[in-house]
Chains A and B, each alone.
Chain A
Amino acid sequence: MSAIHQNVSTSLSASTSTFLSHNNLKSLRPSHVSVAGRMSAVVKCVATPSAEKTAYKTDVARNENLAKLQAGYLFPEIARRRNAHIAKNPDAKVISLGIGDTTEPIPEVITSAMSKRSEVLSTVSGYSGYGAEQGEQKLRAAIASTYYAGLGIEENDIFVSDGAKSDISRLQVLFGSNVTMAVQDPSYPAYVDSSVILGQTGLFQTDVEKYANIEYMRCTPENGFFPDLSTVRRTDIIFFCSPNNPTGSAASREQLTKLVQFAKENGSIIVYDSAYAMYVSDDSPRSIFEIPGAREVALEVSSFSKYAGFTGVRLGWTAIPKELHYSDGFPVAKDFNRIVCTCFNGASNIAQAGGLACVSPEGIKAMHEVVGFYKENTAIIVDTFNSLGFKVYGGKNAPYVWVHFPGRSSWDVFSEILEKTHVVTTPGSGFGPGGEGFVRVSAFGHRENVLEACRRFKELYK
C-alpha cells in the first residue's frame, strides 16, 4: 500500500512511526499538515527543502468529521507496521495473524463459474452490461433460500453488494447524521469510523477513548461478552456483530432474544453483522431473523469474504425485511433501494457468478470445507494459548482468538509479539477501549504458518 497515504494520517503516538523520514514525502508541499488526532500540534514535513512556502490552498473547508478521526483506519496501520517490520528484518519469516485476510485458494467449483462468466462476456449472446443494482435475481433468491429459509426473508429483501464494509457505509448514508448509534465495545472499527465520517458523533474524548454521542456497550469476559442492556441508553441504531469480531463470541438465542426485545422497547433498529455465521459450531443463532419479532427491528449484513475467500473478489449482501419501518411508517428497504440505485451500481457480475456457485449444493459443501480448515487453525491457536496459561476467549464460533494480557497495553503486547516472534496480531484497543488488555489472533493462514506461529508463541511465553 502506498505508504504516503498511511503515514500522514497515522497518530503520532505510534511507536514505530517513520513517516517523517519516508522518501515519498518529497512530493508533499511543506504546508501545514495537521495530523488528525490526539496531538493538535501542526506537523511540518521535513523532507522538502526546495518546495515553496506558499502552496496554493482552495477555499474549501476540510470536512470536520474527517478531522475527528484519531488515526488511520486500524488495518492499514497494522499493515504499515507489518511492512516496516519486514523492511527492518528482511530475513525474518513474518507470519500474519493480524488482518483477518483469507489465505486458502477458492474452491474450483466457484472459480470456474467466474472464469466461465468472464469468457461468456466476450460472446454476443452472453454479454451483459449493467445489472440490477440490487443484484442478479437468481443470486438474491439463492442467498435467501440458503441463509434465510423459513425465516420470512425473501429474494427481494436481499441486496447484493461488493462487501459488508461498503454496505456499512451505505447504511450510514441511509440513516443520515441525525441518528444515534450504539456499538459493542470492542467492535469492528468500521461501525464507529463510518459513524464519525457521517457526522453522527461528537469529538473523541481522549480520557475515555470514546467518541461523544456513541453508546459503547462494554463486552467483557465477566458479562459473557454480552452487554448489560439495563445500563445501555436508548439509541436509534444498534450495531451488533455475532459471531463477534474481535472477541469471537457468538451470542446465544437467549441473549439475542433480549436484544430484540430491547430494540422493540426502544424503537431502535439493529444492524446485525453476521459475516462469521458459518463459523458457528454450537447451536448459537446464525441469523438475527431466527429470533421472533426480529424482522420488525433488524436488518442483517453479511459477506462471502470469510466463507469463500472472497476478500479480493468482493461480494456480500444486506437483508432488509419488509416489516422494518421508520417512525413515519416508511419502509426502510425502499430508501435503501434508492441509495443502492444512486450511490452504487451493483456488484461485479463476475463476482456474482461466483456467488451463485458458492450457494449451489457443491459450493456450500466447498465453503464448509474452507471454513472447517480455518476452524482447525483456530483450535490449534486456542490450544496453544491455553497451554501457556493464558485466558483465551472466542475461537469456538469464529476465526478469531481473543487473548487476555491483564494489566498490559495491547499495543505494547502487539509490538512485543511482532519484535520477538515476527508474528503480526491485532492489538485489542484498536477495536475500542474495551479491547485494552487483549490481543486478537486471527486464524487465517496456511496450516504450516499457523503451526510455526504457535511454536514461536510457545517459545516466547513458556
Chain B
Amino acid sequence: MYTSLAFSFMPYKTILSPRASITTQDNKNATVYRTKVSRNPTMEKLQYNYLFPEISEREAQHAKKYPNAKIISLGIGDTTEPLPDVVASSMANYAYSLSTRTGYRGYGAEQGSKDLRKAIAETFYKDMGIQGAEVFVSDGAQCDISRLQMLFGSNMSIAVQDPIFPAYIDSSVIIGQTGDVEQGSGRYQNIEYMRCDPHHNFFPDLSKTARTDIIFFCSPNNPTGHAASWEQLEQLVKLAQENGSIIVYDSAYAVYITDGSPRSIYEIPGAKKVAIEVSSFSKIAGFTGVRLGWTVVPKELLYSNGFPVINDFNRIICTCFNGASRIAQAGGLASLSSEGFKSVMSLVDYYKSNAEILLETFESLGLKAYGGVNAPYLWVHFPGSNSWDVFNEILEKTHIITVPGSGFGPAGKEYIRVTAFGHRENILEASDRLRSLLL
C-alpha cells in the first residue's frame, strides 16, 4: 500500500540513525592539554546521541531552515496541557509555605514523604498488597532506571523488548553490562532483544528468549502502544520464576489503558517475588517538567543469597539521591486527591481522544497504525521503508515532527512513532496535513 503512494525518498545515507557529528576544534590541536584520565570505555560504546535530544536537534535545524513554518511536534512524548488548578495551587501554596517559620522544611526522607508513598500505594496498588514502605518516590522514571542499573551493577545480563524506549539499553551500556554494538544490526552484544511484532501480538516468543538476570518490560509499551494482556503477563512472570530473573516493569502509561488490560505487574500472582515496577507522574499529571515518579520494590524480592533487593535500593537512594523536590511531591499528593485525580484523568482522556483522531486519520489513509488505544503513542507501519527517511519526508513536507521507529531498536525500522500529546487544534491540523501529503 505504501509503495503506491506518491512519496519520494530523500537520499539519506545513514544506516540506522545518524552518528553524532559534533567535533571540537580542540581534538585536532596537538598542543591542547589532555589529562591522563581515560575516557570511560562504556561511554565509547554508545553509538549515537540519546534519541530524544537528536529529535530536538532536528526540530531546531528544521525551524532554522523554515522560519515561517508552523512546526507541529508529535515527536517527543511531551505533555502540552496546563496543570489542573488544584494541583498547581497546591504547589504554589507549598512553595509559599517554605518562607514561613512554621511551614519551612529542609531535607525530606530520601524515599519520599510518607503521605505520598501511602497515597501511591492506595491509588495504584489497591488490593495488591503493596505498602507505602515499598514505594520509593523519585524525580522520574528515567532517573530511576539508571539508579536501578547502579543497583544491579555491571555483571548483569538484561533483556529488553525490541522495539523499546531507549533508556534501558543506553543505561545498560553506560553501566557496563553490554559488549560493543554489532554494526549491521545496531544491537549491543550481551543484550537479549525480545522481538515484539504485530504478527505475534507484540509479545515476545518467550520460548526463544535466552535467560537473563533482568527483564525490562514496558506496558503499555513505548513506542508500540501495546498493552500486554493478563495471559501474556502471566507467561512473563512464569518465565521470570523459571529463570530466577527479575522483571523491571515500566508502567508509566498504565492510566491510558482502555480495554481492561492489567495496569500493574502486581495484578499477576507471584509477581511480587520477581518484579520491580517503575512509574511516573509525567504522563499522568503533566509533570514532565515538574519531575516526579516512583519505583516499587516489594519486600519479597530477594537476591540469590536471600538478601532483600529493597535494602540495597534503599541504600542507593540514600547515597546517590536526596529525594524528589518537596514541592513536586506536594503536587503529586494533590493529583492523587479525589478532586485532583479526577482532573488529571480528564487530561489523560483529552490525550486519549487525540489518539483516536490520529488513528482515524491513518486508517483513512490506508496505513496500518498500531497502538493508540491503551497508550498515547501510535506505531505506524510504512512497509519497505527506512524510518529515518520517512521521518525526514514527513518533516520536510508537512512540518510535523515524529520519531523514526529505528530509534527504538532494529525492529522499528519500518515504523514511525506518532505521539498523541498536543493541543487539539494542532492534532487536527496535523491530521489535515498528513491527509494532503499521503492521499
Interface residues of chain A, those whose CB is within 8 Å of chain B, are 1-2, 4-6, 8-9, 24, 27-29, 31-34, 55-67, 69, 72-73, 75-76, 99, 101-108, 110-112, 114-116, 118-119, 121-124, 126-131, 133, 162-163, 165-166, 168-169, 173-179, 190, 193-194, 197-199, 236-237, 263-264, 266-269, 296-297, 309, 311-314, 322-331, 334-335, 338-339, 341-351, 354, 444
Minimal Cβ-Cβ distance residue in A for B86 = A122
What 9 additional pairs, Cβ within 8 angstroms, besides A2-B111, A105-B103, A176-B43? Answer: A2-B109, A58-B240, A103-B106, A122-B83, A169-B319, A236-B36, A268-B35, A309-B104, A323-B26
B4 CB, nearest partner CB in chain A, Å: 38
Known: A63-B153, A133-B53, A334-B22. A56 touches B311 (CB 8 A): no
Minimum CB–CB distance from B174 to chain A (whole Å) comes to: 6
Question: CB < 8 Å: which of B39, B305, B325 contacts A314?
Answer: B325
Residue among B87, B155, B289 having the largest count of chain A Cβ atoms under 10 Å:
B289
Partner of A162, one of B104, B114, B139, B302: B139
With a CB–CB cut-off of 8 A, which chain A residues contact B84? 122
With a cutoff of 8 Å between Cβ atoms, the chain B residues found around residue A112 in the complex are 96, 99
Q: Is the CB of B34 within 8 A of A327?
A: yes
Instruction: Indicate if the CB atoms of A73 and B312 lie closer than 8 Å.
Output: no
The answer to whether B322 touches A165 (Cβ under 8 A) is yes
A57 and B38 contact, CB distance less than 8 A = no
Q: Which of B39, B114, B273 meets A327, CB within 8 Å?
A: B39
B338 in the interface (beta carbon within 8 A): no
Asked if B33 contacts A296 (CB within 8 A), the reply is yes
Give chain B interface residues in 87-145, CB to chain A under 8 Å.
Answer: 87-89, 91-93, 95-96, 98-101, 103-111, 114, 131, 133, 139-140, 142-143, 145
Q: Is the CB of B35 within 8 A of A326?
A: yes
Using a CB–CB cutoff of 8 Å, the interface residues on chain B facing chain A are 22, 24, 26-27, 32-43, 46, 49-50, 52-53, 76, 78-85, 87-89, 91-93, 95-96, 98-101, 103-111, 114, 131, 133, 139-140, 142-143, 145-146, 150-156, 167, 170-171, 174-176, 213-214, 240-241, 243-246, 273-274, 286, 288-291, 299-308, 310-312, 314-316, 318-328, 331, 421
Nearest A residue to B36 by beta-carbon distance? A267
Q: Decide: A348 and B290 in contact? CB cutoff 8 A.
A: yes
Contacts of B152 on A, CB cut-off 8 Å?
60, 63
**In-complex Cβ contact of A329 among B34, B49, B150, B302 (8 A):** B34
- A314–B139 contact, CB under 8 A? yes
- The answer on a CB contact under 8 Å between A173 and B99 is no
A128 and B314 CA atoms in complex are apart in Å by: 32
Give the residue of B95, B150, B326 whose beta carbon is less than 8 angstroms from that of A197: B150
Say yes or no: B325 contacts A58, CB within 8 Å: no
> In the complex the two chains form, is B325's CB within 8 Å of A105's CB?
no
- A165–B319 Cα distance when bound, in Å, is 7
CB distance from A349 to the nearest CB of B (A): 4
Q: Which of A119, A162, A165 contacts B88 (CB 8 A)?
A: A119
Interface hub of B36, B99, B151 (most chain A Cβ within 10 A): B99
Query: Which among A8, A102, A115, A296 has the greatest number of chain B C-beta atoms within 10 A?
Result: A115
Given contacts A31-B302, A60-B304, contact A342 B39 (CB under 8 A): no
Does B311 lie within 8 Å of A9, measured CB to CB?
yes
- Of A65, A75, A312, A322, the most chain B CB neighbours within 10 A belong to A312
Question: Do A99 and B286 touch across chains, with their CB atoms under 8 A apart?
Answer: no
Closest Cβ of chain A to B250, distance in Å, is 14
Q: Is the CB of B133 within 8 A of A4?
A: yes
Please, how many angstroms separate the alpha-carbon atoms of A247 and B214 in the complex?
Answer: 43
Q: Which residues of B contact A24 (CB under 8 A)?
A: 133
Given A162-B322, A193-B319: A350 and B32 interface contact (C-beta under 8 Å): no
A345 is contacted by which of B83, B140, B154 (Cβ under 8 Å)? B140
